[in-house]
Amino acid sequence: MAKHFLLLNLIAVVSFCFVVLAFEPSPLQDFCVADPASPVKVNGLACKDPKSVNAEDFYFSGLHLAGNTSNTFGSKVTAVNVAQVPGLNTLGISLARVDYAPWGINPPHTHPRATEILTVLEGSLQVGFVTSNPENRLITKVLNKGDVFVFPIGLVHYQRNVGYGNAVAIAALSSQNPGIISIANAVFGSEPAIETDILAKAFQIDESIAALIQSKF
């Protein structure tokens, strides 16, 4: 009986370890500055020689600058992840500045590798995320300056500026490379394209309408 109990505990510990390791592992040294030029293929990016590391590897300038929101959605995301700051490699964190024109949106999307915590710096934002199947419940709230909201990892979420002036937010994400899947682009703008009859059945629309939406992407 005692051996059986011990075995169950061991299985639980191992299972927990696998769950933890499914996300970004803790660093095993002070830093592992990314070396994009390295031919070594790893889950993430290979480390550059620590002796060649300098302050620029941990530095980014420009988040004080407003992004250009003159586009279809009226928003602009300025990302600061491992691609911009190589020193973020293996540290499991990144951030972004998001600018919104009046009534601009950051359209529905997911981050497959990160939870996001959003802080409103200026303006008012309607934010929301949708829970997974089968409930698909929309959880939404209007945020004002200084308010904070969390989007759980992998869930579809969005923001919309509900004010008549510009809005600004800062988002922190729990991955050096959170990834982004824009729902409309992924479904209607994939390469090669998803067959229109599949989209028509999935969205319960006519094939001609599915084709029309695809043409916009």
**CATH number 2.40.160.10 given to 66-189:** no
Instruction: Summarize the annotated binding site for Mn(2+) as residue ranges.
Output: 109, 111, 116, 157
Q: Residue 166 pLDDT more than 50?
A: yes
Q: Residue 11 pLDDT more than 50?
A: no
pLDDT of residue 23: 60
Q: Residue 18 pLDDT more than 60?
A: no
pLDDT of residue 90: 93
Instruction: Summarize the annotated binding site for oxalate as residue ranges.
Output: 106, 111, 116
Mean pLDDT of the chain: 90
Instruction: Summarize the annotated binding site as residue ranges.
Output: 106, 109, 111, 116, 157
Range 34-54 average pLDDT: 90
- Separation of alpha carbons 200 and 75, rounded Å: 29
pLDDT tens digit sequence for 50-95: 999 999 999 999 999 999 999 999 999 999 999 999 999 999 999 9
Q: Residue 27 pLDDT more than 80?
A: no
pLDDT of residue 25: 66
Q: Are 149 and 98 contacting, i.e. CB atoms less than 8 angstroms apart?
A: no
Angle at 80 between CA 76 and CA 53, to 5 degrees: 155
Q: Which amino acid is at 202?
A: A
pLDDT tens digit sequence for 190-213: 999 999 999 999 999 999 999 999
